Amino acid sequence: MAQEISRDIGPVVLLGPPGAGKGTQAKRIMEKYLIPQISTGDILRYNVAQATELGLKAKAVMARGELVSDDLMYPMVRQRLSQPDCKRGYILDGFPRTAAQAQWLDVLLEDKLFENPRPTQSWPIVICLDVDYNELLLRITGRRSCPTCGRIYNVHFQPPRNDEVCDLDGTKLVTRNDDRLEVIQPRLKAYQEQTAPVVDYYQRTGRLVWVNGDLPMDEVTGQIFRILEARHS
């Protein structure tokens, strides 16, 4: 959508409850700045689908809407962030989700500052999407995706042209296993209990910027781009 820019942008952390639009905004940042989106939820779902050792361990926890343990998360995130495509920056979507994870990430980034050759690293800029609770429920229960091309719809706000099939390839749309109503409440509760301290942590360290996630998607994107531009101007 936007003009592509290939300069260094550094780590960007996107915070916000499930359904806040983190995935959508992360994709837009990725397209504009050509840095990878790292969604820990996507990596875990891939591992579950492939029935890897990690996937087998995480599957039941994810199906209950609970957080996967740190001893599984940390090696997975460390391994992903050390890939060459992360050198100019990356967007973390879904990580950190607890204050302990935020502290762990700071230690990891601090260690990288002393690596040789020194990678382009700076502290993450942390953008928190703030969304009304009822709006969140509609967004999550309405979310559908195409298993073939990955396109995301919402039956309330962005329905496909024909009932429950993808506009692009006609595949039947699916609901993510953890978007079911009975799983949403624990996910939102887990967010409240465990992620609110992450917001506090970044607020205290002066790295947090709030964005009103109730605004139309393009306006949210515009605000995020302005924040990133201001940081690097």
Where does this chain touch ligand AMP (CB under 6 A) — which range of 47-55, 66-74, 198-206, 222-230? 66-74
Q: Give min distance, CB of 54 to ligand AMP, in A.
A: 11
Structure tokens at 46: 């891939």
Shortest spacing between CB 203 and ligand AMP, in angstroms: 19
Residue 97 is a binding residue for ligand AMP (CB under 6 A): yes
Instruction: Kindly tell me which of 5 and 72 has the beta carbon lying closer to ligand AMP.
Output: 72
Q: Give the residue among 153, 149, 157 at the shortest CA–CA distance from 175.
A: 153
Out of 13, 67, 126, 146, the residue judged to bind ligand AMP by CB under 6 A: 67
Active site residue 176: yes
Q: Which stretch binds ligand AMP (CB under 6 A): 81-89, 95-103, 107-115, 151-159?
A: 95-103
Angle value at C-alpha 149, between 19 and 174, nearest 5 degrees: 55
62 binds ligand AMP (CB under 6 A): yes
Catalytically annotated residue among 27, 97, 139, 144: 97
123 DSSP 8-state letter = P
Instruction: Indicate the SS3 state at residue 141.
Output: helix
- Interface with ligand AMP by CB under 6 A: which range of 90-98, 124-132, 145-153, 163-171? 90-98
User: Residue 178 interacts with ligand AMP (CB under 6 A)?
Assistant: yes
The catalytic position among 22, 32, 59, 144 is 22
Question: Which residues, 6 or more positions from 210, have their beta carbon under 8 angstroms from its beta carbon?
Answer: 128, 130
Beta carbons within 10 angstroms of residue 14's beta carbon: 26
List the structure tokens of 136: 């969140």
DSSP E strand boundaries for the chain: 10-15, 37-39, 89-93, 125-130, 143-145, 152-154, 208-212
Known active-site residue 118: no
Q: Counting every residue, how long is the chain?
A: 233
d(CA 79, CA 82): 5
The site for ligand AMP, by CB under 6 A, has a size of 17
**Helix crossing, 40-49 with 70-81: angle to 10°?**
110
Q: Which residues of this chain interact with ligand AMP, rule CB under 6 A?
A: 18, 40-41, 44, 61-62, 65-68, 73, 94-95, 97, 101, 178, 187
Give catalytic residue positions.
22, 97, 143, 176, 187
